[in-house]
Structure 1
Amino acid sequence: MKEETVSCTQNMSKVEHSSKNRLNFIDAHFFSLPSQGNVYTLTPLTDAKGFTKILVASLQRKVYCLEYSNGRPCIREVPFTYIPGGAEIISIDAVNRSVIQEDFIIGITIIKKDDGTGQQSHFFNVYSDWDLNSDSALDVVSQNCHPLELDFVPYHLYHTKTKIKNGWETVWLLSGSDNCIHLYHSDDESHSYQEMDCSESFPEFTNMTDVTLWMDISYSSDNKRRVSATCGEGGSVHMYCVNVESIPQVTASHTVSWDYPAASVKIFDLNVGLPVPKYLQGIHRFPKEQIKDAESPAHIIVGNTLESCFIYR
């Protein structure tokens, strides 16, 4: 490791001396947690202005927000209610339902052990509210909780959209130890969140054979099709093409099986790109951007626990 570090430093030095635009890494931001997290305890949250915050949860109840304030990084604890002492946070996810205002919904799953009996209870806490008079919508949301008791151990918590009678709705998908993916949506009449049958909106998730460790969904630009992917504890990777013009129907599927768990899966396309930073423009020559298709095919990358990542094109 020392040899690699020295080599990297020497190469960096050569690059700096051979170019007028020297590399200048100004700041590196990090902070410590009171206890470790897991692969499910970090999520981004974008506000109405387009700025992204990062929510990081530790296993022992505390949730932190990493954001920029007045051009400087700021880290603060967000006091979420209904997370009792002794509980452990398993997963967290967040979404802003609005593009013109802050309408945050944050989901947190927890496990609580009873001190007397030693039995575990599981909860899915949904935090949502919006107050125009509040200085921080995130602080208001963290105090408005709707807890749902679960009869399974929660794993990956994921939000996506689905088509309903009145249009599109943001819903929660939660994988569990019962080999199922559960669907939760907001009930406007009762001002609460309830579980609903997953087979109608997401028929691809009705016959899961093992615990789903990760899921990802990508819609086409016209919202008529979607690609769904899941990976499981038993090593199975499922990929689906679904037509969602009227009633969702699976039009194609493919399954790959490994001898070890597949930990994560992500759908991407080649239209996703980042601009070249200014400090690199004078150092490296990059090929000119090519004209990209309006709808490029989806690719899937799978992260395994014992092997390198695999990309399916």
Structure 2
Amino acid sequence: MEQIGFFPISNSSNIYGMTNMHGDMTRILVATLEKQVFAVEYSDNKKITCNEIHFAYIPNSADIISIDAFVRTNYNDIVLGITFFKNYKESDSNEFRKNIVVSNNRSTSSSSEKNICNHYYFNIYSSLSSTNRFDLNQIAQDCQTFELDFVPYHLYHTSIINENNIAETLWLLSGSDCYVHVFREDNKKQSFYKDKIDLFPELNNFESIVIWIDVINYEENHKCHRLTAVGCENGILCLFFVELGETNNPRIIKSWKNRFDGPILSVKFFKDKINSNLNLRKLGFKSEFSPEIHLLVLDSCEQPTIYRNVQENGLGLRKILPKINENNIDLFPASIVGDVNFDNNNEIILGSYGKKIIFYKFEHESQTYFIENTMEVPHPVISLTYLDLTGDGINELIIVTTKGIVIYRHHIDPLIDALVKKMNTIASK
């Protein structure tokens, strides 16, 4: 790969600080710890740009903790969530704390706050009216604020089938109280509200802070199921197999636990085969569907681990990703899964604090992972994503480091070779 862009940032981000926005075009939002939010996109003048977006209702000197976004109904209807904290001193003005939605019973009066310094908030931004034109700056001004009685950690969105048998996207937010909190939208009132955790019985009881959540819904044998993975600060990894009934009554069928030596930084479900929107059979290719779901776990003390076919094996079939060399000790805060060599199979991409990007490939014959390629980057890696930022049909690798945002694209020769090979396959049919 070759570097095509670098955008320096004055303040560092964190593992919760990047999200993708798939609107009329693909954008990336990167939040730094000191209130700044940058939008990276491909502009009309055929250049990748990085511009700061000023979000309303985030006071000066606030520190952003996590950010996430999803598309509500159409490509321009974006909902964005930002969690942050503000340190209020006794002499500070508390004007921001007035006229907000409070998610607990704590009073918002400023008469007895001598012993309370940090206040935590969850802002939800969305467009109040449907439009055919995407305007991120306008969305950044329409906000609903929740004051929280816990330190927010991972902000995550997932989908359910609600009581009206309609698909609904909602927020899951983990906190320092060792709970996962649910925030849903009331379409009639055009507002969000905090709901009970009943829709996710698997997220109801943890002994430690939940650092990362991942959920995948799928259908098998005409039944809807959900796999939920949870990584905790105390090193506990939890995996739940949930059956989703027709009456919106989820039921835990199986659950597994495993303990790691340190806090779990992230968990991610993936499949070996990529999901393509193209009809591969019409193009002359064999359409292979991979029902097996695997789980990638990044731990702060151990080498990254993959659990294969978790529907059948739970946490029983474990593959530890190999090191570059046996003496290498590194921390991997970032991962992404994608087809980087255009063979219709996903590779594992890891970013390390030791300034390395490592590409892993799975060999089906030996049932092992091996290092296919490595890259050096100038600064420690915090987060990764792999998507089509320029709109040319080929994904770019976007890396958030401690010093800035780096964008890589594929060299043209491997792209031509892959295209010629596929065209020859079509011609031979």
Interval of TM-score (by shorter of Structure 1 and Structure 2)? 0.7 to 0.9
Rounded Cα–Cα distance in structure 2 between residues aligned with 1:227 and 1:292:
22
Asked if 2 retains the 8 angstrom alpha-carbon contact of 1:45 and 1:94, the reply is yes
Distance 2:17 2:33 in 1: 8
Determine if the alignment matches structure 1 residue 45 to structure 2 residue 21.
yes
Which residue identity lines up with residue 263 of structure 2 in the other structure?
A: P
| Distance in 2 of aligned mates of 1:145 and 1:163 | 26
Indicate yes or no: 2:327 matched with 1:292: no
Work out the CA distance in 1 between the residues paired with 2:51 and 2:182.
31
Which stretch has the larger CA shift, 245-254 or 211-220? 245-254
The Cα of 1:34 is off from its aligned counterpart by: 2.3
Q: 1:175 — aligned with what?
A: 174
The aligned residue for residue 142 of structure 1 is: 140
- Which residue of 2 is the match for residue 303 of structure 1? 298
Q: Specify the alignment match of 1:231 in structure 2.
A: 231
Displacement over 6 Å in runs of 4+? none
Query: Is residue 96–residue 102 contact of structure 1 (8 Å, CA) maintained in 2?
Result: yes
Partner SS for 1:311: strand
- Give the letter aligned to residue 36 of structure 2: K
The 8 Å contact of residues 226 and 243 in structure 1, kept in 2 or not, is answered as yes
Give per-residue Cα distances to partners, 1:23-64, cap 9 Å, x unaligned: x84x421211121111001111101x4x32100011111101
Q: Which residue of 2 aligns with 1:18?
A: none
Partner Cα separation in structure 2 for residue 92 and residue 157 of structure 1: 6
* 1:11 counterpart residue number: none
Residue matched to 1:54: 28
What does 1:73-112 align with in structure 2 at a 5 Å threshold?
73-98=48-73, 100-112=74-86
Q: Does residue 1:69 correspond to 2:43, yes or no?
A: yes
1:286 matched residue in structure 2: none
Work out whether residues 107 and 125 of structure 1, in 8 Å CA contact, stay in contact via their aligned partners in 2. yes
Quote the offset at 1:221 in angstroms. Answer: 4.8
Structure 1 residues 158 and 133, CA, compared in 2 at 3 Å: closer, same or farther? closer
TM-score, length-scaled by structure 1: 0.81
Residue ranges of structure 1 left out of the alignment (5+ in a row)? 1-23, 275-288
Closer/same/farther in 2, CA of residues 134 and 80 from structure 1, 3 Å limit = farther
> Would the aligned equivalents of 1:90 and 1:109 in 2 still touch at CA under 8 Å?
yes
**Structure 1 residues 79, 250: CA separation in 2 closer, same or farther (over 3 Å shift)?**
same
1:186-235, Cα deviation, whole Å (9 max, x unpaired): 1233322111111x211110111210000000111578111110100000
Structure 1 position 273, deviation (Å): 6.5
2:66/2:82 contact within 8 Å kept: yes
* Alpha-carbon distance change, 131 to 77 in structure 1, aligned in 2, over 3 angstroms: farther
Aligned to 2:266: 264
Cα deviation digits, residues 248-279 of structure 1 (max 9, x gap): 111111111112111110001112269xxxxx
Q: Give the drift of 1:181.
A: 0.3
Tell me, what secondary structure is at the counterpart of 1:28? strand
Preserved CA contact (<8 Å) 1:103 1:130: no
CA distance in 2 between counterparts of 1:137 and 1:104 reads: 10
Q: Does residue 28 of the first structure (1) align with residue 4 of the second (2)?
A: yes
Change (3 A) 1:133 1:239: closer
Match of residue 210 from structure 1: 208
Q: How many residues align?
A: 272
Task: Give a deviation string over 1:119-178, Cα, whole Å, max 9, x none.
Answer: 110000000115566854311110001000000000000001112122111100000000
Unaligned runs of 5+ in 2: 91-113, 277-284, 309-429
Q: Hey, what's the Cα distance between the residues in 2 that align with 1:133 and 1:250?
A: 40
CA-CA distance at 1:296 after TM superposition: 1.1
Aligned AA (1:173): L
Whether the 8 Å contact between 2:160 and 2:168 is mirrored in structure 1 is: yes
Cα RMSD (Å) of the superposition?
2.2
Q: Quick one: which amino acid aligns to residue 120 of structure 2?
A: H
Contact 1:271 1:296 (C-alpha < 8 Å) held by counterparts: no
CA distance in 1, matches of 2:251, 2:131: 44
